[in-house]
């Protein structure tokens, strides 16, 4: 069974960084790219970027190029997103989602709530 298990909720102070994990199981981690999606409270979905775990290659939406850093550890089948220079605009739920063949995201993590607060 494919599962994406994300880490727990985070609280970060303005200006700090947080790092969220997404541990994959039930499939070959390097066979699928991993997307990250942001959902601000009560809002829609925003694509942040993706990482190809096999090669470590990444692509980001322009808006998130200075905000997010995507990495992957193939030894632990875990993808990560680091969010830097936190502001209140970063308060949101962050999802990881597996992408099938440059297409739909077929499996999603449960989401991680990040709250930016002093």
Partner 1 sequence: DIVLTQSPTTLSVTPGETVSLSCRASHSIGTNLHWYQQKTNESPRLLIKYASQSISGIPSRFSASGSGTDFTLNINNVEFDDVSSYFCQQTQSWPRTFGGGTKLELK
Determine, following the binding rule CB under 8 A, whether residue 16 of this chain makes contact with partner 1: no
* Those residues with Cβ within 8 angstroms of residue 6's Cβ, 6 or more apart along the chain or in another chain: 20, 21, 22, 23, 94, 95, 96, 109, 110, 111, 112
Question: Which residue number, 52 or 74, has a Cβ lying nearer to partner 1?
Answer: 52
Nearest Cα neighbor of 29 from 98, 87, 83 is 98
Nearest approach, Cβ of 65 to partner 1 (angstroms)? Answer: 10
What's the token pair of residue 80?
Answer: 């990560």
Does the protein bind partner 1 through residue 44 (CB under 8 A)? yes
Region 80-109 residues binding partner 1, contact defined as CB under 8 A = 95, 97, 99-100, 102-106, 108-109
Residues that bind partner 1 (CB under 8 A): 35, 37, 44-47, 49-50, 59-62, 95, 97, 99-100, 102-106, 108-111
């Amino acid at each position: 069974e494919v599962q994406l298990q994300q880490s727990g909720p985070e609280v970060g102070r303005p200006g700090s960084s947080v790092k969220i994990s997404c541990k994959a199981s039930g499939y070959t981690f390097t066979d699928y790219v991993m997307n990250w999606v942001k959902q601000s409270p009560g809002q829609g979905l925003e694509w942040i970027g993706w990482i190809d775990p096999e090669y470590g290659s990444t692509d980001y939406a322009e808006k998130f190029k200075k905000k997010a850093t995507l990495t992957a550890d193939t030894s632990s089948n875990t993808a990560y997103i680091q969010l830097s220079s936190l502001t209140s605009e970063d308060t949101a739920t962050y999802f990881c989602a597996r992408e099938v063949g440059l297409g739909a995201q077929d499996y999603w993590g449960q989401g991680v709530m990040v709250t930016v607060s002093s």
